[in-house]
């Protein structure tokens, strides 16, 4: 027996999978209900039928059907955008990880707790003095929660041991295969064993050589 998934959670999954801004996606759905059809981010969103309480929304990419689902008018008229509260849920990320093995290239505003395989480019604003901590494995390590920023927002980046000295304040860094976790109620970007952290300035000579 399959677990039931709410409309909001499923739309959040689509928003994550196709890298759609949840606010713009929600507006496009509401506009399709009123105007019958709208195009957003290479997706065709069409209202196939409707009555007083709901409409049947068809979402296509090129000639492929992405989804067809009933959405209540009450949902579409919600001013708080109910899609947002489901961004980053286990269902959305689990389905995404199964269907897409490639890391996501995102901006800070798109990040939600539970996301994995994230690529991100940002500028380092601050690297606090490292602290010595006892890890859950019983050994000591140094850690610093750096502050990074792109054009959409800021987030803490957890740096361990040699990572702390691999970048400096003012560097633009390329982060690969990271994940979002929560520490004391605050979202943090974390780089695991398979992740990478590089200064864009350090990568520049390599890119220049490859371009010849």
pLDDT tens per residue across span 144-173: 999 999 999 999 999 999 889 889 999 999
Is-contact 71 88, C-beta < 8 A?
A: no
182 and 119 co-located in one domain? yes
57 lies in a domain? yes
Task: Say how many Å lie between the first and final Cα of the chain, rounded.
Answer: 57
86 and 126 co-located in one domain? no
171 lies in a domain? yes
Is-contact 57 46, C-beta < 8 A?
A: yes
115 and 87 co-located in one domain? no
CA distances from 40 to 37, 49, 72, 138, 208 (A): 10, 19, 20, 51, 36
110 and 169 co-located in one domain? yes
- Tens digits of residue pLDDT in 2-57: 456 788 888 988 888 888 899 999 999 999 999 999 999 889 999 999 898 999 99
Averaged pLDDT, 162-185: 89
Strand partners, 50: 55
61 and 39 co-located in one domain? yes
**How many structural domains are present in the chain?**
2
Q: Which of 44-48, 76-80, 102-106, 181-185 is the least confident region?
A: 102-106
Domain holding 140, by residue range, is: 104-210
- Reported as a pLDDT band with limits 50, 70 and 90, residue 102 is low
110 and 87 co-located in one domain? no
Query: If you ran DSSP here, which 8-state letter would residue 138 be given?
Result: S
95 and 20 co-located in one domain? yes
175 lies in a domain? yes
54 lies in a domain? yes
CA distances from 55 to 40, 58, 64, 85 (A): 18, 10, 20, 22
200 and 111 co-located in one domain? yes
25 and 89 co-located in one domain? yes
Cα 130 versus chain centre, distance: 28
Is-contact 103 118, C-beta < 8 A?
A: yes
């Amino acid at each position: 027996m399959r677990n039931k998934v709410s409309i909001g959670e499923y739309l959040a999954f689509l928003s994550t999978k196709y890298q759609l801004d949840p606010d713009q996606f929600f507006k496009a759905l509401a506009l399709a209900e009123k105007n019958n059809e709208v195009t957003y981010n290479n997706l065709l969103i069409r209202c196939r039928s409707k009555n007083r309480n709901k409409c049947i929304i068809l979402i296509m990419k090129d000639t492929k059907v992405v989804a067809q689902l009933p959405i209540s008018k009450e949902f579409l008229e919600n001013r708080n955008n109910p899609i947002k509260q489901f961004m980053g849920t286990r269902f959305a990320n689990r389905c995404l990880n199964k269907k897409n093995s490639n890391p996501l290239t995102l901006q800070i505003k798109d990040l939600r707790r539970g996301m994995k395989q994230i690529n991100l480019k940002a500028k380092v604003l601050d690297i606090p003095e490292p602290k010595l901590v006892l890890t859950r494995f019983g050994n000591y390590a140094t850690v610093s929660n750096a502050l990074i920023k792109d054009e959409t927002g800021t987030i803490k980046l957890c740096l361990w041991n040699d990572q702390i000295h691999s970048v400096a304040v003012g560097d633009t860094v390329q982060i690969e295969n990271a994940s979002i976790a929560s520490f004391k109620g605050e979202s943090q970007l974390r780089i695991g064993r398979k992740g990478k952290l590089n200064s864009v300035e350090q990568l520049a000579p390599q890119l220049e050589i490859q371009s010849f």
